[in-house]
Structure 1
Amino acid sequence: MPHRAWIVAGAAFVILIGAAGFRAVPGVLIDPLHAEFGWSRATISSAVSINLVLFGLFSPFAAALMDRLGMRRVVVCALILVAAGSGLTVFMTSSWQLLMCWGVLVGVGTGSMAMTFVATVTGRWFVKHRGLVSGVLTAAGATGQLIFLPLVAALATEHGWRTPAVVVSACALAVVPLVLLCLRDYPGDVGLTAYGARGDEREQRVGPVAGGATARALRVLREASRTPAFWLLAGGFAICGMSTNGLVGTHFVTAAHDHGMPHTTAASLLAVVGIFDVAGTILSGWLTDRVDPRLLLGGYYTFRGLSLLFLPSLLGPDVQPSMWAFIVFYGLDWIATVPPTVALCRDRFGADGPVVFGWVFASHQIGAAFAAVGAGAIRDSLGDYRLAWYLAGGLCVLAALMSVSVRANREPETSR
């Protein structure tokens, strides 16, 4: 019988598939919402932007809440928020309701199941193969994109945007029983040690702190922000968010449609990115156990920037071999940055690493939010996305330089 850690990791994989799919849905619905309500793309993108910001900003608080209340309680509440946020959109008549539903409710819900959840699961349940498991769980985000995007695009095309909104709500509720059945907070809760742990290694638990989870999350931020490593990691990850979720994840379908490509074809291409991202992120996790994570990040950001600089010349009504090359290359790199970033946070900040990564991930989503709104504004004012692709490509080169500048020796841990 497999170690219980693998069952927990399997449940976490399904949860993360859903979280990624739920969050990615609005990017496919920009044109249908624009057609029905007449809202500008910048206005609709603002809901995506709020979603992205809360997806990131709530992550460190979710990590602290998982320490205080347990992973199961936090994840169940998050799924209920997603179900409510998605389901209520079918009744909306004004843009502020879109901001509240897809922006606030879905943003907080998915933010509670974000990459800090990966750091928490791997940190508690695994000693051996941590990097590999981080890569596999991170790849769940790509798998969620692969499953949901073509389905949402097809449902929106055939039945209108309300049908996929209801489907997302139902899927979120369907995951709740799995969480209650399979997810456990610590190996010690079921009389085990973490996978690969030695018999004399004690389980690290974070006890209650004065002021609760919010106080701990803010304290960790205050102490981590005194180190250069935190700002270099946060700055690089902000650019990561700009160049993935904020720009490509939100606007690729619309940008491709501007060049004559059908929505369903463009959404399918974005889903193919997810296929290759699964392989790329798992490989990145395997490499993180063996190669300096700083060097991995430097390479990932450099190649991503170069691919984005070429993208404007590849868009057209048909999918040419050059576009397939971009999809494969970009897919392998999409979120390969997560395992080495998690490893650097854990290495430099110890038991506070998941919460620190939560704040680093918050910067990722703030960057994504700026790109989501900024690219929409560029499209509204200039008529195309060309400038947005060029800016993102240049910033990725900057992120590469920041990543390799992180100190090689470990920063002092924040106090616990």
Structure 2
Amino acid sequence: MAARIFISYCNGSDATRQLRNEIAAALSGHKVFIDELSVRLADDWRARIYHALAECHAVVFLLDSGALKSPWVRKEANIVLWRRALGASVMIIPVLLDGVTAPDIEAAGLAELLEVQHTRPARRGPAGGGGVVPEVVRAVSRLRVGGRRSSDPMQEWTSRVVEALATLDDGHLAVSADAFGAADGLAELPGRTAQLNYVAHQLLHQGIDRRACDTLARIKRGFSDEQRRNLIEEIIPTWVDGDAARLLLHGAADRRPVVLLNARLDRTARQYFERATCRSFSGYRCAVAGELVGEQSVADVSAALQAAVRELARLPPRIPIEEIVPPPGLSFLVVDPGGVPLPAVGPAIEALRRDFPWVNLIVLVGRAHPDEPTVRRWLPEAPYLLLPALAKDDELVAYQLVEDLVQLVPERMRGDVR
């Protein structure tokens, strides 16, 4: 069975394009996606690229100096690394060209491409083929296509969105495709299933905005009530930037830093979690250390955090917390300091991280995006990761957008949609 292979590269070098073509020719028995050859000028190329990356079995990265500076190579790397972090068996084959070294790749923020298990960089050399092409072919030959595939939450998320879109007639599907930037080339795809997948991929990667919300309002009668509810529930977290959300999954499970998010609503952090995990609740769990209030002591804050950890681990009420058994998969705890000053929260967070290293912490730090000295005043020891800043009104605009989407769901079915 032919594998789907994506070749990621920067289009600035003639030598790299030549190597790209040689690799594609050597893999002619497979379905190879190259943006310049696979996307017509009139197509929305972003939609085609998202679609190809979400469905491919392997990605070959041609890493010359131009690729290290390319925002689209970075975007492509983020999507495929995101799939792998969620457990998908997509193969990554990095090829170092033009004297590019591992430190160069690390400096470009793409070090994860060199940390992939079961693959290694193809032999470094000039962008002219040589031993590179056979190495890539050998790597691809190790793929096992067909039969039972490993869990792929990104694909499963897409399938749920496809199922919700399936009742739309062709006219409504075309309207939705236009709103989500996937209209060009939709009619060329072979069959309705491919078209539905195409629109779903674009919706999930591009994310919802006001135009998408207004379009759903226009075509809402094209859905059954249940499918409209299901679709809205699935797409709500897509307002969150995917590259930022993926950082929640970065690094080894027992060594992840404390994640700091400049937001005020715990539901914002939940939506980051759902975006990062592609709403895959198998193997992932999330709890909230409810809004803390008043001038609580460090001991009070620690007690509140431990109560949330008990909930996260489903620990029976009378069992001592020292007997806790870490649940399988990844566990996230959202900490909402509320009215408690962060200097009182910091020591409790550091103690929790030492006592329960399996808990991944997401801390809301308010609207401000704190600098290093500010963070270290209340979190002096724990490694931390400050997520890319939300702009001043992003959180409230997203809140309004989500509430408008929820209004499209029949009141009797809204439940906890949000």
Q: TM-score, normalised by structure 1?
A: 0.29
Structure ID, larger Rg: 2
Q: TM-score, normalised by structure 2?
A: 0.29
* Structure 1 or 2: more helix by fraction: 1
